[in-house]
């Protein structure tokens, strides 16, 4: 995990913008100019409230947007290869073979009338057409074993699985072709807390063993703190803040991140009341002028209402001062490293300079 940031990234997303086109209406800007990089074996958290463009962004990486969704700008490079320029058949070869996805809601992502085993085998068969049926079956059993399901249950239908098992089966399916990147779209939604912990442990173990790069799409900051190396906080389709996990938790600079962290229960201070951010994230077809967060921001001032803040690098001095008190905590695994990127889109960051 301590891959030096100087090596070529596995996935480099630059200025990715996605619009939703509806006839007779101006396009809705679901995602605007989002950039990030992912190193081999790295785990990134994609965080934000519902409707912030997280799922849209992850579907766009695989070019699986619904017909109304258009990638209007930007680039997605996988191992130096521009994915947005590929023809659809070439993209179909990359999907699942190199970049797989664990879909939100395991029940809906499994066909109720096809056995789980053959749904996993489908992916293997598509990408390794020369494998014989017994070889595919053996691989399916191996995959199920990897996620802790008895191989004999491959012949069962999704309704015979419990919720947690379905989620495990979805993970097995994502790993079917040994991809380098797995996008986990809210992998633990609708599961109870014990099962959530099991699934997250499983994902983390698999990631370490297989050297996977994982993008966790979630609104659970606990998941991010535990599993991720860095965090991309999205708000209203733009990057609010982008930094390694220590920085995000210890010295968040964007008011949205700060509010989000306050809304998350701190077990060490039992008396503190939980915070919530009043209001809702903006609809992509009715974005506010200026900063997209300004209607809900506690620190709002005049400029926020008119100017959209640029994504700026946060000065490291400030950051180190703030986080000095946390030196030596469990999460400071990057201490010996070059200064990690810390970007935030807020006028307050600019004012600091």
What tokens appear for 56 in the block?
């849209």
Q: Assess 254 for contact with another protein (CB under 8 A).
A: no
What tokens appear for 290 in the block?
């200026």
Minimum CB separation of residue 77 from another protein in Å reads 19
* Residue corresponding to tokens 């180190």: 320
Minimum CB separation of residue 204 from another protein in Å reads 23
Q: x/- contact string, 137-166, with another protein (CB under 8 A)?
A: --------------------xxx-------
Q: x/- contact string, 196-215, with another protein (CB under 8 A)?
A: --------------------
- Helix, strand, coil % over all residues of the chain, rounded to 5: 35, 20, 40
Residue 94 has φ and ψ, to the nearest 5°, of -75, -45
Distance from C-alpha of 337 to C-alpha of 222, rounded to nearest angstrom: 24
Cβ-based nearer residue to another protein, 79 or 156: 156
Residue 344 has φ and ψ, to the nearest 5°, of -145, 145
Q: Which residues in the 100-119 window bind another protein by CB under 8 A?
A: 100-101, 103-105, 107-114, 119
Minimum CB separation of residue 197 from another protein in Å reads 25
Among 74, 60, 77, CA closest to 12? 77
Minimum CB separation of residue 231 from another protein in Å reads 25
Q: x/- contact string, 6-25, with another protein (CB under 8 A)?
A: --------------------
**To 5 degrees, how large is the angle CA 327–CA 249–CA 269?**
90
Q: Which residues in the 83-102 window bind another protein by CB under 8 A?
A: 92-93, 95-97, 100-101
What tokens appear for 226 in the block?
């535990």
Residues 6+ apart with CB under 8 A from 169: 106, 110, 116, 119, 120, 144, 147, 149, 158, 161
Strands 43-47 and 213-218: parallel
Minimum CB separation of residue 100 from another protein in Å reads 8
Cβ-based nearer residue to another protein, 119 or 319: 119
Distance from C-alpha of 36 to C-alpha of 232, rounded to nearest angstrom: 8
CB contact at 8 A, 202 and 147 = yes
Cβ-based nearer residue to another protein, 115 or 247: 115
Minimum CB separation of residue 52 from another protein in Å reads 20
Minimum CB separation of residue 189 from another protein in Å reads 13
Residues of this chain that bind another protein (CB under 8 A): 62, 64, 92-93, 95-97, 100-101, 103-105, 107-114, 119, 122-123, 126-127, 157-159, 173
């Amino acid at each position: 995990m301590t891959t030096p940031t100087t090596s070529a990234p596995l996935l480099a997303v630059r200025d990715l913008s996605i619009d939703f086109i509806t006839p007779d209406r101006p396009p809705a800007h679901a995602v605007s100019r989002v950039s990030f990089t992912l190193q081999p074996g790295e785990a990134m958290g994609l965080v934000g409230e519902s409707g912030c463009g997280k799922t849209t962004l992850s579907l766009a990486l695989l070019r699986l947007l619904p017909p109304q969704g258009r990638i209007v700008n930007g680039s997605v490079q996988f191992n130096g290869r521009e994915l947005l320029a590929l023809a659809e058949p070439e993209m179909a070869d990359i999907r699942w073979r190199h970049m797989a996805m664990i879909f939100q809601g395991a029940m809906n992502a499994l066909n109720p009338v096809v056995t789980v085993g053959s749904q996993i085998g489908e992916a293997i068969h598509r990408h390794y057409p020369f494998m014989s049926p017994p070889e595919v079956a053996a691989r399916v059993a191996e995959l199920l074993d990897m996620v802790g399901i008895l191989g004999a249950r491959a012949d069962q239908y999704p309704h015979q699985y419990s919720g947690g098992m379905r989620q495990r089966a979805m993970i097995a399916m994502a790993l079917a072709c040994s991809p380098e990147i797995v996008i986990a779209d809210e992998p633990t939604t609708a599961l109870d807390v014990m099962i959530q912990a099991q699934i997250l442990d499983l994902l983390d173990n698999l990631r370490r063993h297989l050297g996977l790069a994982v993008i966790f799409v979630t609104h659970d900051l606990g998941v991010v703190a535990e599993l991720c190396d860095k965090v991309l906080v999205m708000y209203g389709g733009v990057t609010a803040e982008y930094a390694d996990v220590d920085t995000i938790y210890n010295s968040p600079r964007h008011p949205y991140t700060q509010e989000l962290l306050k809304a998350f229960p701190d077990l060490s201070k039992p008396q503190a009341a939980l915070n919530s951010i009043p209001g809702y994230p903006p609809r992509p077809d009715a974005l506010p002028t200026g900063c997209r967060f300004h209607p809900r921001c506690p620190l709002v001032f005049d400029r926020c209402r008119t100017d959209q803040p640029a994504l700026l690098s946060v000065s490291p001095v400030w950051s180190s001062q703030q986080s000095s008190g946390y030196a030596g905590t469990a999460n400071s695994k990057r201490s010996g490293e070059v200064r990690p990127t810390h970007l935030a889109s807020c006028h307050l960051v600019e004012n600091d300079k």
